Amino acid sequence: MPRDHHYYVYLLTNKHGNVMYVGVTNDLRRRLYEHKTKQVPGFTAKYNVDKLVYFEETSDVHAAIAREKEIKKWRREKKDALVVTMNPEWRDLSDDWEGDLSLRSR
């Protein structure tokens, strides 16, 4: 039986909303948990970027990677406008997820 694949392009910001990160993953909950717990050193850990403000889902890994690259090239104003389409209040969308992120990603 073929497995359904899901890929996510996502945008994170910090609590002040002045830094933005664009990423792609096949497990959004696991990846967000890694960002929130700073398991991977780098940009998001350094600048406390762990607030999920936007995401898209696709079953095509190539489309997800292409979309991530496309969004990364955009000016900040265009990224902000994209976020507003899904999340006009810029709240952390992961707040809607119940329980511990680490448990739900398994």
Higher pLDDT, 19 or 97: 19
Residue 2 resides in a domain: no
pLDDT tens track for 46-90: 999 999 999 999 999 999 999 999 999 999 999 999 999 999 999
CATH code for the domain in which residue 91 is found:
3.40.1440.10
**Structural domain count, the chain:** 1
**In this predicted structure, what is the pLDDT of residue 46?**
94
Q: Which domain holds residue 22?
A: 7-104
Q: Is the pTM of this model over 0.85?
A: yes
Region for 100 from its dihedrals, namely left if φ exceeds 0, alpha if ψ lies in -120 to 50, beta otherwise: beta
Residue 1 resides in a domain: no
Residue 16 resides in a domain: yes
